């Protein structure tokens, strides 16, 4: 097995709070003039370049900064079709209510497996090119047994972090018999999907007639848990509601959006900080002209936060974590260091992953290179494509 030393790293952000000799201000575990030794896709050694052990190959990154690869813990990449007109309408003041999801369902059902596979592959490649090394992918544009299962089968070709979202919206043919659709989700659909999924998710949102109520969401999550899946929840996106409380009550790994939070929600999330991560998706607030939640308020209360793209055809067709980071700093009152941590360590925690999100010996060698001397340039040079996942020669994270 070939060991490669990556040297010439002007600034290495490890996120490892225990790394000896590192600058631990802002919990980033930073080293200057660093090197990383990688073998078989895993980190073997991290430290000052001058002390790097011998390796078979040497690669110089040319005085650039290296950070942990972004972990995008919330995306909906399995879809066909285009809803750019819906985006344009929102920019002129039309409110998002989830009703457009059925447009994507129709297009997705009509696409062949190969078409869907090519679309997902292109989106994953677009993410890697912007520094993302792990992506969670949800189903949710099939909404019948066959199309939900095939969405997950295709997603599983690209990631191990697959999420069954049959409870995305109630499809129109079930709108006057909602309980039958919930029964389908927790019965035949769950049986067909669980073998291809690690997680289950539900869009719990009383402000949308298309989404699920607290009681319906509880039924879906309980069935998913009984089938061995971890829990994630779309909650409090369109207004205040029961979703965050439900996610905490059920021990969900992640509750996502959190656009509208009451004081009680924040207290519940803080008390559950070891279990439930609040995943913020500022690309959605951008693309739906919604108010940004105050991430500072969450951190100050002791909540664990993650940042992710939510890349989807309706509320945010951007796959860019650098864009998310810029928004989080400018609009949600995070420091650059806090935002970077949320999109690496925080999002890895929301996926129960300890092998990613931090660069340390034994972890996956998911490294993102910045065409700049320090991580601050990610924010300072917003909009400039300086981040990309380091290519280890085909040994990419799955
Ligand atoms: O995370 N809110 C529910 N689901 C997606 C949007 C899906 C769509 O509009 O196509 C979201 O925002
Ligand atoms: Fe989503």
Taking the CA of residue 205 as reference, the ligand 1 atom at the shortest distance is 2
Q: How many folded domains does the chain comprise?
A: 2
One-character DSSP codes across 229-274: -EEEEEESSSSS-SHHHHHHHTT-SEEEE--S--HHHHHHHHHTTT
Q: For residue 129, give the CATH number of its domain.
A: 3.20.20.140
256 lies in some domain: yes
Q: Does one domain contain both 333 and 208?
A: yes
**Contact partners, residue 91, CB within 8 Å, separation at least 6:** 289
From ligand 2's centre to the CA of 244, what distance in Å? 15
| pLDDT higher than 60, residue 398 | no
Identify the bridge partners of residue 247 per DSSP, sorted by sequence position. Answer: none
**Residues 4-54: tens digit of each pLDDT:** 999 999 999 999 999 999 999 999 999 999 999 999 999 999 999 999 999
Residue 397 belongs to a domain: no
Domain identity same for 77 and 63: no
Of the candidates 55, 36, 60, 63, which has an alpha carbon nearest to the alpha carbon of residue 47? Answer: 36
Q: Scanning the structure block, which residue is given the tokens 């067709």?
A: 317
Report helix, strand or coil for 367.
Answer: strand
333, part of any domain: yes
13's enclosing H/E stretch is strand 3-13
- Shared-domain flag, residues 133 and 229: yes
CATH number for position 42: 2.30.40.10
Residue 183 has pLDDT above 50, yes or no: yes
In a domain, 395, yes or no: no
* Ligand 1 binding pocket includes 108 (Cβ within 6 Å): no
Q: Compute the mean pLDDT over every residue in the chain, rounded to the nearest whole number.
A: 97
In tens, the pLDDT along 92-120 reads 999 999 999 999 999 999 999 999 999 99
Among the atoms of ligand 1, which is closest to the Cα of residue 100?
A: 9
Q: Are residues 54 and 81 in the same domain?
A: no
| Ligand 2 centroid from CA 76, angstroms | 6
> Helix axis angle, 113-128 relative to 145-155, nearest 10°?
40
- Name residues whose C-beta falls within 8 Å of residue 59's C-beta, 6 or more positions apart in sequence: 4, 5, 6, 7
E strands, 14-120, in order: 30-39, 42-48, 57-68, 70-72
What's the confidence (pLDDT) of residue 392?
86
Model confidence band, residue 1 (pLDDT cutoffs 50, 70, 90): confident
pLDDT digits (tens, 9 = 90+) for 49-103: 999 999 999 999 999 999 999 999 999 999 999 999 999 999 999 999 999 999 9
Left (φ > 0), alpha (ψ -120 to 50) or beta: where does 23 sit? beta
* Whether 160 and 228 share a structural domain: yes
205 and 136, same structural domain? yes
Pocket test of ligand 1: the residue of 203, 205, 233, 287 to mutate, having most ligand atoms within 8 Å of its CB, is 203
Looking at the fold, whether 35 and 112 belong to one and the same domain comes out as no
Which ligand 1 atom sits nearest the alpha carbon of residue 165? 4
Kindly list the protein residues that place their beta carbon closer than 5 angstroms to ligand 2, a single-atom ion: 310
C-alpha dihedral, 295 to 299 to 302 to 305, nearest 10°: 60
Same domain flag for 144 and 214: yes
Average pLDDT over residues 193-199: 98
Residue 139 falls inside a structural domain:
yes
- Percentage, residues of the chain above pLDDT 90: 98
Instruction: Indicate if the pLDDT at residue 397 is higher than 80.
Output: no
Q: Write out pLDDT tens, residues 278-325.
A: 999 999 999 999 999 999 999 999 999 999 999 999 999 999 999 999
Q: Say how many Å lie between the CA of residue 151 and the centre of ligand 2.
A: 15
pLDDT tens digits for range 368-394? 999 999 999 999 999 999 999 998 875
Which structural domain range is residue 129 located in?
70-350
Q: Per-residue pLDDT tens for 355-364?
A: 999 999 999 9
191 and 43 share one domain: no
Which residue's CA is the closest to the ligand 1 atom numbered 3? Answer: 203
**176 and 299 share a domain?**
yes
Residues 36 and 105 in one domain: no
Domain co-membership, 344 together with 368: no
Distance 73 CA to ligand 2 centre (A): 10
Measured in whole angstroms, the distance separating CA 98 from the mean position of its chain's CA atoms is: 20
Query: Average of pLDDT values for 246-261?
Result: 98
């Amino acid at each position: 097995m070939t060991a490669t030393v990556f040297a010439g790293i002007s600034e290495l952000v490890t996120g490892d709070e225990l790394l000896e000799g590192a600058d631990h201000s802002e919990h980033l575990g930073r080293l200057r003039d660093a090197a990383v030794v990688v073998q078989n896709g895993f980190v073997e050694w991290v430290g000052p370049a001058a002390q790097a052990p011998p390796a078979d190959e040497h690669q110089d990154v040319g005085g650039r900064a290296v950070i942990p690869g972004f972990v995008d813990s919330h995306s909906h990449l399995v879809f066909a079709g285009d809803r750019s007109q819906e985006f344009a309408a929102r920019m002129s003041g039309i409110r998002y209510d989830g009703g457009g999801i059925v447009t994507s369902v129709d297009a997705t059902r009509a696409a062949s497996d190969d078409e869907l596979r090519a679309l997902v592959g292109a989106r994953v490649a677009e993410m890697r090119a912007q520094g993302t090394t792990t992506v969670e992918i949800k189903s949710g544009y099939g909404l019948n047994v066959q199309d939900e299962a095939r969405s997950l089968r295709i997603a599983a070709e690209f990631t191990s972090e697959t999420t069954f979202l049959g409870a995305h919206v109630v499809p129109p043919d079930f709108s006057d018999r909602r309980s039958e659709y919930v029964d389908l989700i927790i019965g035949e659909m769950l049986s067909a999907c669980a073998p291809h999924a690690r997680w289950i998710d539900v869009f719990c949102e009383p402000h949308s007639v298309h989404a699920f109520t607290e009681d319906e969401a509880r039924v879906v999550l309980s069935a998913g848990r009984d089938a061995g899946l971890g829990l994630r929840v779309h909650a409090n996106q369109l207004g205040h509601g029961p979703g965050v409380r439900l996610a905490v009550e059920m021990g969900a790994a992640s509750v996502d959006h959190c656009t509208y939070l009451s004081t009680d929600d924040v207290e519940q999330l803080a008390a559950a900080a070891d279990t439930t991560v609040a995943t913020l998706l500022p690309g959605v607030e951008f693309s739906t002209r919604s108010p940004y939640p105050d991430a500072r308020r969450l951190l100050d209360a002791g909540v664990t936060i993650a940042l992710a793209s939510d890349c989807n055809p309706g509320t945010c067709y951007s796959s860019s974590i650098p864009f998310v980071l810029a928004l989080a700093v400018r609009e949600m009152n995070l420091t650059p260091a806090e935002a970077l941590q949320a999109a690496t360590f925080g999002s890895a925690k929301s996926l129960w992953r300890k092998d990613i999100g931090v660069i340390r010996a034994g972890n996956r060698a998911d490294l993102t290179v910045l065409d700049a001397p320090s991580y601050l340039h990610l924010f300072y040079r917003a909009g400039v494509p300086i981040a990309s996942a380091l290519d280890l020669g085909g040994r990419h994270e799955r």
